[in-house]
């Protein structure tokens, strides 16, 4: 597992690298270093969609109907149950990989659509 920071090249006299605006790890480190006696807790959300290939010319999110789109997000939002939740084995494998890598993951949930 690799955690990294992003930097931007600042084309000035000194030609330096500066933390990119999207480098939130840099901002967080300043806060963590300010209170070294505290143990920081933070959350990261990893979202993904599982795709399945129906044919050479058709790739759709897993669990979507053959043609068209699934219904409104209501039954899928943070869903429970085999009729609205798809790919549980992949989600469980991802969860276990995180635990094996030493990431203290607190859980998973299905979001707003099948797949």
pLDDT digits (tens, 9 = 90+) for 21-80: 888 888 888 888 998 998 877 677 777 888 888 767 778 888 888 888 888 887 777 777
Of the candidates 49, 46, 50, 51, which has an alpha carbon nearest to the alpha carbon of residue 1?
46
* Shared domain check, 13 and 61: no
- What is the distance between the alpha carbons of residues 2 and 15, in angstroms, rounded to a whole number? 27
* Shared domain check, 53 and 24: no
* Shared domain check, 38 and 83: no
Higher pLDDT, 58 or 90: 90
- What is the distance between the alpha carbons of residues 110 and 115, in angstroms, rounded to a whole number? 9
Within 10 angstroms of residue 25's Cβ, the number of other Cβ atoms is 13
For residue 1, is pLDDT > 60? no
* Shared domain check, 59 and 111: yes
C-alpha separations of 29 from 34, 47, 93 in Å: 8, 24, 31
Give this prediction's pTM: 0.57
* Shared domain check, 65 and 113: yes
């Amino acid at each position: 597992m690799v955690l990294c920071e992003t930097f931007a090249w600042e084309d000035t006299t000194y030609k330096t690298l500066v933390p990119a605006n999207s480098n939130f790890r840099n901002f967080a480190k300043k806060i963590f270093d300010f209170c070294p006696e505290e143990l920081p807790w933070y959350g990261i959300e990893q979202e993904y969609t599982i795709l399945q290939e129906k044919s050479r010319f058709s790739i759709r999110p897993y669990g979507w109907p053959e043609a068209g789109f699934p219904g409104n997000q209501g039954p899928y939002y943070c869903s429970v149950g085999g009729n609205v939740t798809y790919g549980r084995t992949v989600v469980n494998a991802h969860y276990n990989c995180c635990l094996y890598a030493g990431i203290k993951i607190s859980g998973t949930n299905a979001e707003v659509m099948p797949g």
